[in-house]
Amino acid sequence: MAEGYIRARQLTKTYRSGSSDLVVFAGLNLDVYKGEMVALVGESGAGKSTLLHLLGGLDSPSSGTIHYGSKEVTSLAQSEQSDFRNKEIGFVWQIHYLLPEFTALENVMMPLLIRGVARTEAAAESLARLDEVGLRARATHRAGELSGGEQQRVVLARALVGKPSVLLADEPTGNLDFRTGEMIFQLLENLHRTHQLTSVFVTHNLAFARRCDRVLSLDKDGMVPDGSTALQPDGKSEYL
């Protein structure tokens, strides 16, 4: 089988805990193929969010490598990693992390302004992304004036404004009611297709996981072999 676009090889992450080392996972291998939408499920504490942070270059592995295509991102200098994240990866978190003193439009503009894009160009591109998630009319509203679902749509617009090739999402519907979560996941599916993304979603929502191209499972022993999933035929899972 061909290698994935995102490739983790022999990935190990340990943290110092008192006088001993806490091993989150060791020797983990992962392939995510170009254009895939992959769900990452598993028991709490298995390291799903840790893995997502490593894939996004927000943390460094204790050992092992991560490649995006031919680029080994784990060997990049910190400034190069920051530049790579800004240009190639969009992030969506369970907590929106919107800056409360800024409007929805200004929050979406931030990645482009950090990149050095002119303010007028950044504003035009950000308005287009807000329009895409149905929030153009709310562009001048601050985060506290938006509902939870609207805030998460602003986060989606912000994640996509820099035209990334990869979208990484950690429990993107975790703080939302079922109906709003369904709307957000439908939007994620549509944006994945229209922006031709490669997407990895950490989720405990097994109904959403089953709608992805593949479901990968982490447990205390690492990645379940051969990309098999913890899902049962009726959609139930050992991870509830």
The answer on pLDDT for 234 being more than 70 is: no
Instruction: Pick the range with the lowest mean pLDDT from 17-26, 104-113, 222-231.
Output: 222-231
In this predicted model, what pLDDT tens digit does every residue of 114-173 receive, in sequence order? 999 999 999 999 999 999 999 999 999 999 999 999 999 999 999 999 999 999 999 998
Which pLDDT score is estimated for 225? 52
- CB within 8 Å of 173: residues ≥ 6 apart: 152, 180, 181, 182, 184, 185, 203, 205, 208
Which residues lie across from 168 on neighbouring strands? 91, 200
In this predicted model, what pLDDT tens digit does every residue of 8-56 receive, in sequence order? 999 999 988 778 888 889 999 999 999 999 999 988 888 999 999 999 9
> What is the arithmetic mean of pLDDT over 62-81?
94
Q: Is residue 82 part of a domain?
A: yes
Which residues lie across from 15 on neighbouring strands? 22
Q: Is residue 13 part of a domain?
A: no
Which residues lie across from 67 on neighbouring strands? 7, 72
Q: What is the DSSP secondary-structure string of 146-178?
A: S-HHHHHHHHHHHHHTT--SEEEEESTTTTS-H
Which pLDDT score is estimated for 34? 95
Q: Is residue 142 part of a domain?
A: yes
Q: Is residue 160 part of a domain?
A: yes
Q: Is residue 211 part of a domain?
A: yes
The CATH number given to whatever domain includes residue 143 is 3.40.50.300
In this predicted model, what pLDDT tens digit does every residue of 199-221 receive, in sequence order? 999 998 889 999 999 999 987 76
Which pLDDT score is estimated for 2? 66
Count of domains in the chain? 1
Which pLDDT score is estimated for 237? 39
Considering Cα of 27, then 31, then 32, then 34, what sign does the dihedral take?
A: positive
Domain that holds residue 111: 36-46+77-227
Which pLDDT score is estimated for 44? 82
Which pLDDT score is estimated for 212? 96
Which pLDDT score is estimated for 110? 95
Which pLDDT score is estimated for 131? 97
Which pLDDT score is estimated for 235? 40
